[in-house]
Amino acid sequence: MKLLKISAFALTIALSACNNNKSEPAQTATPKTSDVVIGNYASSDYEKRKEGYDWVGVMVTKNNDSTVHISIRSRADIKKPTCTFDADAKRLNDSVYKANVMGKDILFNFNPSQMSIATARKEDEGILNYFCSGGGSLAGIFNKTTAPLDSIQIDKAKLK
């Protein structure tokens, strides 16, 4: 009887050792860049570019799963370019990316057909004028385009 109890005890220990219940620490998933945000966007005057209107284009390319590179260029074939900007922006959620530029947070909000640019804090809006001349600003709404931006009109400053 004693041998039976010892055998049962040993069998219980052996079987419980097979059941490895080690819990892995929870991993924080890095938000992944959505392919929806990748592409070209343009200000509303882009459609009237053949009539001489000034316009601003935004090119969004994927760096990795959590960041994008944002290049902003303006028309430069008729006069000096209005806006030039380059920054990497980190994904905050499915539709919002953030770049910290000169200590200010710039937010890039995306939906399937548009993107908008604004600062996280109203008092930081002046940073959006810094990258433009003639009273221009990066702030605003930009429409997604299906074709590349006009390569003849766009500022050819090196895209980073």
Q: What is the pLDDT of residue 45?
A: 92
Q: What mean pLDDT, rounded, does the chain reach? A: 83
Q: What is the pLDDT of residue 29?
A: 55
Q: What is the pLDDT of residue 41?
A: 97
pLDDT tens track for 112-128: 999 999 999 999 999 99
> What is the 3-state composition of the chain as percent helix, strand, coil, each rounded to the nearest 5?
20, 35, 45
For the four alpha carbons of 38, 32, 64 and 71, in that order, the dihedral sign comes to: positive
Q: What is the mean pLDDT of residues 92-107?
A: 97
Q: Where are the domains of the chain?
A: 39-145
State yes or no: pLDDT of 159 exceeds 90: no
| pTM: predicted TM-score of the whole model, two decimal places | 0.76
